[in-house]
């Protein structure tokens, strides 16, 4: 087994921009330096937002940047069974519960909490009879991780940590203690999507034997819940290297939601891959 395996795991919901190039080049360069392996994974579980033309764009843009990756490329939408199995395991052990609340109800519940945050919801299962009634009525629900059950299963979160070799947004480095309460009872599966990002990503990082997760600081906080899921599922914990986020000239970060210039637009305007690499600090 290679001692160093890293990955770039884009979701094909838009064309790649400089921020993606920075992430991909960071992971690829680290693999080269360590004489390790570089894996490209397509995270396309959200069938509504992901499109084939964006996936084709990922391959085109990365090849243009001069990267190479292992084949075949794992496409998450083709492996839903793997994530379903992990979810069933959590369900059988009582670590997840069905949540029937609507987005609006969640927002209201978290607003009234002392440090209300939309994504830090904590609830619990309904009484069996009420749950049966709602299931019978065909009401949609999401599977949420129960932090309470997780804490019981692990005998507390005190010893849970991950290793940060890069830097978190608050300068976090070294051994970082996991704080699951940051994310609350996160959603691990929904009726429409089947599985949520956190669960799919930890299953795949383990299946692909990823030793180093190299990605932007926007995902630093996600590492807390991901490390918790690894512990619950008995999966190995990779080392994390979060990198700074690239800012555009307006001081805002490059994101596909904005109209930041995509790599394909830059290419069409005559920008060369060598210049992009240089601009991003990879010479
Ligand atoms: N698919 C995620 C994204 O596009 C990244 C997942 C990860 O690197 O853990 O933001």
pTM, rounded to two decimals:
0.93
Sheet of strand 5-8, all strands in order from the earlier edge strand to the far edge: 74-75, 37-42, 5-8, 212-216, 239-243, 161-164, 174-177
Is the pLDDT confidence value at 2 over 70? no
- Res. 260 pLDDT band, cuts 50 70 90: low
| pLDDT score recorded for residue 107 | 80
201 lines ligand 1 (CB under 6 A): yes
Mean pLDDT over 7-11 rounds to: 98
Task: Give the domains, in start order, of the chain with CATH numbers.
Answer: 1-78+247-283 (3.40.50.620), 80-202 (3.90.800.10)
Question: What's the rounded mean pLDDT across residues 168-180?
Answer: 97
Task: Please give the pLDDT value at position 1.
Answer: 53
Stronger pLDDT, 97 or 194, i.e. the higher one: 97
What phi-psi label fits residue 174: left (phi over 0), alpha (psi between -120 and 50 degrees) or beta? left
Say yes or no to pLDDT of 246 above 90: no
Q: Kindly state if the Cβ of 11 falls inside 6 Å of ligand 1.
A: yes
Interval 58-85 mean pLDDT: 97
- Cα separation, 139 vs 95, whole angstroms: 21
Q: Which of 6, 8, 9, 17 most suits a substitution to test ligand 1, by most atoms within 8 Å of the C-beta?
A: 9
Query: 155 C-alpha to center of ligand 1: Å?
Result: 30
Q: Which of residues 2 and 13 earns the better pLDDT score?
A: 13
In angstroms, the CA 149 to CA 153 distance is: 6
Which tens digits make up the pLDDT trace of 11-40?
999 999 999 999 999 999 999 999 999 999
* 3-class DSSP assignment, residue 45: coil
Phi and psi based region of residue 124 (left: phi greater than 0; alpha: psi -120 to 50; beta: remaining): left
Mean pLDDT of the 117-141 span: 89
Task: Give the separation between CA 89 and CA 117, rounded to whole angstroms.
Answer: 28
Q: Residues 94, 158: contact at Cβ < 8 Å?
A: no
For the chain, give the percent of residues with pLDDT over 90.
82
- Which atom of ligand 1 lies closest to the CA of 13? 4
Taking the C-alpha atoms of residue 35 and residue 4, their distance in angstroms, rounded to an integer, is: 8
CA angle 15, 16, 22 (to 5 degrees): 175
Instruction: Label residue 258 by pLDDT band (50, 70, 90).
Output: low
Q: What percent of the chain lies above the pLDDT cut of 70?
A: 94
Residue 199, classified by CB atoms within 10 Å of its CB into exposed (0-12), middle (13-18) or buried (19+), is buried
pLDDT at 105: 85
């Amino acid at each position: 087994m290679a001692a160093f395996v890293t990955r770039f795991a884009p979701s094909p919901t838009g064309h790649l921009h400089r921020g993606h190039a920075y992430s991909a080049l960071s992971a690829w360069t680290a693999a080269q330096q360590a004489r390790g392996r570089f894996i490209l994974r397509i995270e396309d579980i959200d069938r509504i937002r992901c499109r084939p033309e964006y996936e084709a764009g990922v391959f085109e843009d990365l090849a243009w940047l001069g990267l190479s990756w292992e084949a075949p490329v794992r496409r998450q939408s083709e492996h839903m069974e793997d994530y379903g199995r992990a979810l069933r395991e959590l369900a059988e052990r009582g670590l997840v519960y069905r949540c029937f609340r609507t987005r609006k109800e969640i927002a209201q519940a978290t607003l009234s909490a002392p440090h209300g945050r939309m994504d830090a919801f904590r609830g619990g299962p309904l009484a069996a009879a009420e749950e049966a009634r709602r299931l019978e009525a065909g009401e949609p629900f999401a599977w949420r991780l129960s932090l309470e059950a997780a804490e019981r299963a692990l005998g507390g979160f005190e010893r849970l940590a991950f290793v940060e070799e890069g830097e978190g947004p608050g300068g976090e480095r070294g051994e970082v203690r996991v704080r699951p309460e940051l994310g609350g009872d996160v959603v691990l599966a929904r009726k429409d999507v089947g599985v949520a990002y956190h669960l799919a990503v930890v299953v795949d990082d383990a299946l692909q034997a990823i030793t180093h997760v190299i990605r932007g600081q926007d995902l630093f906080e996600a590492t807390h819940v991901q490390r918790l899921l690894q512990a619950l599922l008995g999966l190995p914990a990779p080392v994390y290297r979060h990198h700074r986020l690239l800012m555009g000239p307006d001081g805002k970060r490059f994101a596909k939601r904005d109209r930041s210039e995509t790599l394909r637009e830059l290419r069409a305007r005559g920008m060369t891959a060598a210049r992009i690499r240089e601009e991003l600090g990879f010479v």
